[in-house]
């Protein structure tokens, strides 16, 4: 069995909070595949292609992380890659309840896939993609919440 994990999400855009989960995941798994879901009911800031490019730029020097786009159900994508672990992050009890709901469905549909939930470090508990989108909407600079050396303008 391989020790690679899929970290799925919208990542619109990828934040310091997401990076904290990938970096912790690298301690547990050989590789972390970041799956960028083309989820139609979420409002888009970046195109899926640019979300993938941004993540691959952040991890340009880390061969164990790779971002890929996907359509459809996360479990189907995970299975198609032959992966046995789904990595997700948890900021608070709202995330916990949401993640547990998804995990229960996945456990039924994809019994060979194990969900691994990691806690976010306290400094990133309040960071979300939607906060970044809101700051941009109101003319503020969200760079501080983004991984270092990432200028969102290059991806919009
Ligand atoms: P989704 O639409 O699937 O919730 P997101 O891109 O919002 O996609 O989140 C992807 C994963 O990252 C989820 O597991 C989410 O709980 C987690 N996450 C989001 N923000 C943070 C953060 N600040 N710290 C840790 N995990 C986070």
Q: Which residues line ligand 1 (CB under 6 A)?
A: 9-11, 15, 17-18, 20-21, 88-91, 95, 120, 124, 127-129
Ligand 1 atom 3: the closest Cα is on which residue? 9
Question: For residue range 81-107, what is the model confidence (pLDDT) as tens digits?
Answer: 999 999 999 999 999 999 999 999 999
Rounded distance from Cα 127 to ligand 1 centre (Å): 9
Render pLDDT for 29-87 as a digit per residue (tens, 0 to 9). Answer: 999 999 999 976 666 899 999 999 999 999 999 999 999 999 999 999 999 999 999 99
- Please indicate, yes or no, whether the overall pTM of this predicted structure exceeds 0.85: yes
CB distance 86 to 8 below 8 Å? yes
List strand residue ranges (DSSP E) for 11-153, in order.
Answer: 31-37, 65-70, 85-90, 114-119
d(CA 57, CA 149) in angstroms, rounded, equals: 10
Ligand 1: which atom is nearest the Cα of residue 124? 23
Strands (DSSP E) contained in the chain are 4-9, 31-37, 65-70, 85-90, 114-119
Q: Return the percent helix, strand and coil in the chain, to nearest 5.
A: 45, 20, 35
**pLDDT tens digits for 3-45?**
999 999 999 999 999 999 999 999 999 999 999 999 766 668 9
């Amino acid at each position: 069995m391989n020790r690679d994990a899929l970290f799925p999400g919208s990542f619109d855009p990828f934040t310091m909070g997401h990076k904290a989960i990938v970096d912790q995941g690298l301690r547990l798994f050989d590789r972390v595949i970041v799956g960028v879901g083309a989820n139609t009911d979420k409002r888009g800031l970046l195109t899926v292609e640019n979300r993938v490019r941004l993540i691959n730029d952040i991890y340009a020097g880390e061969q164990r992380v790779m971002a890929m786009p996907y359509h459809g159900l996360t479990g189907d994508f995970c299975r198609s890659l032959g992966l046995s672990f789904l990595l997700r992050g948890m900021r608070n009890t709202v995330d916990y309840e949401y993640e547990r709901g998804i995990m229960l469905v996945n456990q039924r549909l994809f019994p060979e896939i194990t969900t691994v939930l990691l806690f976010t470090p306290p400094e990133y508990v309040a960071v979300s993609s939607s906060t970044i989108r809101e700051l941009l909407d109101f003319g503020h600079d969200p760079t501080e919440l983004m991984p270092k050396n990432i200028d969102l303008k290059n991806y919009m």
